Structure 1
Amino acid sequence: MNRAEKAALQLRAVDVLRMLKETRTYDELAETTELPAGDLNRYVNGHVLPGTERAREVVEDLGREALGQELEARIRVDDEGYVDNSSAVFDQPFLDLVAPVVANGFEFDRPDVVLTAATDGITLAASLASYYGTRCAYAKKRKETAVEEFIEARERLQSGIELTYYLPESAIEEGESVLVVDDLIRSGETQELLLDIVETADADVAGVFALIAAGEDGIERARGRTDAPIGALTTV
């Protein structure tokens, strides 16, 4: 980890602590984190930064649990099982907190490209790509007018509807490592199409991640396609 990466990790740890402090006293925060209240006061108020190892513990362990709870509080599921996660995917500062937790709390290798499907996964993909310092690409259901060469993935759904995604061929180079992400994984159909795109590009899968898993079907379907790490921040 270079100096810039260490600084980014330390700053993200402070962001996590500040988020937790919004609903806790310093004594309560100390009980939650098992860190001295005086140290927490200095971190939250920006007087000092936590050391690298302490920052890693905050982001990987505490951050993952805290952000998972925060995400669960933002999700609304209706009587038919449809998930409204707009208060999460529209909140870029929240997603910017999620990015280092995903990068440090899951076993994903650093990707060359973060790939998602338009549209709700774009904000998450952008946050992760920014944190990793890599490119962000997103597949669409229609072709861009000015682009000549595309990677195309098509699947007929159980409903009989044919779902097709297109990605400009230049978005992923052969041999690159690709992290597939989305805001929600339910059936796994979208993730499978994105994995088809990665395969067609002769690229490698770094992992599959979703903010929310609606049940286990999509996760299991993705596991049937790749040996790369697969995870979600929370499950409903």
Structure 2
Amino acid sequence: MNRAEKAALQLQAVAILRMLKQTRTYDELADFTGLPAGDLNRYVNGHVLPGTQRAHDLVARTGRDALTAELEARIESDDGGYVDNSAVVFDQTFLDLVAPVAANTLEFDRPDVVLTAATDGITLGAAMASHFDARVAYAKKTKETAVEEFIESRQRVSPGMELTYYLPARALSPTDTVLVVDDLIRSGETQTLLLDIADQAETTVAGVLALIAVGGDGLDRVRGLTDAPVGALSTFAPE
């Protein structure tokens, strides 16, 4: 880890602590993190930065617990099992905190491109791309009129119904390492199509990340398609 990466990690840890401090006293924050209240006070108020190992632990362990709790508090679901995650995907600041936590927890290789699906995956894709200083590419269900060449992936999801995604061919190249991300994974259909697009472009897949998994079927399906890490920040049991 170079000096810039260490500084970024330390600042990410402070951002998480400041988020937690909004609803906690320093004593409560100390109980939650296992760190002295005096140290936490100095971190939150910007007097000193946590050391590299402590910052890593905060982001990977405490950060995931805190962000998962916040994520679950923002999500609503109905009796049919439909999930409303608009309070998450419309909050870019929150997703910017999620990105380093997901990266440190699930240990993806650094990607050249973050690949997602329009439209709900775009904000998470942007956050992950910013964290890794990577490009972001998103597949759409329609072709853009000014683009001549596309990578197309199609799958039958039910009798008489197909799901198709298109990505401009120049968005990916065989030398790219690609991280596939999406806001939600239920059946794994969208992630399967994104992995197929990455495969057609002859890229290397660094991993597959979802903010939310509804049940484990989708994760299991995707794990059967790649040897790269596959994970979700939070998993909900289907209704």
Q: TM-score if structure 2 supplies the norm length?
A: 0.97
| Cα distance per residue 1:100-147 (max 9 Å; x no partner) | 001111121001110000000000000000010000000001111111
Question: Which whole-Å CA distance do the structure 2 matches of 1:158 and 1:107 have between them?
Answer: 35
Question: Which whole-Å CA distance do the structure 2 matches of 1:214 and 1:60 have between them?
Answer: 22
Counterpart in 2 of 1:227?
Answer: 227
1:48 deviation in Å?
1.0
Question: Which whole-Å CA distance do the structure 2 matches of 1:153 and 1:195 have between them?
Answer: 9
| Structure 1 segments of 4+ aligned residues over 6 angstroms from their partners | none
Counterpart in 2 of 1:193?
Answer: 193
| Cα distance per residue 1:41-89 (max 9 Å; x no partner) | 0111111111111100100010011101110000101010000000000
- Matched letter for residue 221 of structure 1: R
Question: Which whole-Å CA distance do the structure 1 matches of 2:123 and 2:159 have between them?
Answer: 28
Question: Which whole-Å CA distance do the structure 1 matches of 2:218 and 2:84 have between them?
Answer: 18
SS for the counterpart of 2:46 is coil
Counterpart in 2 of 1:107?
Answer: 107
- Matched letter for residue 54 of structure 1: R
- Matched letter for residue 223 of structure 1: R
Residue range with higher mean Cα deviation, 125-134 or 100-109: 100-109
SS for the counterpart of 1:231 is strand
Question: Which whole-Å CA distance do the structure 2 matches of 1:3 and 1:180 have between them?
Answer: 27
User: 5+ residue gaps in structure 1?
Assistant: none
Question: Which whole-Å CA distance do the structure 2 matches of 1:227 and 1:82 have between them?
Answer: 29
Counterpart in 1 of 2:143?
Answer: 143
Identity across aligned pairs (percent)?
A: 72
Q: Does 1:13 align with 2:13?
A: yes
CA RMSD of aligned residues (A): 0.8
Question: Which whole-Å CA distance do the structure 2 matches of 1:234 and 1:85 have between them?
Answer: 12
How many aligned residue pairs are there?
236
SS for the counterpart of 1:235 is strand
SS for the counterpart of 2:43 is helix
User: 5+ residue gaps in structure 2?
Assistant: none
Counterpart in 1 of 2:92?
Answer: 92
Counterpart in 2 of 1:70?
Answer: 70
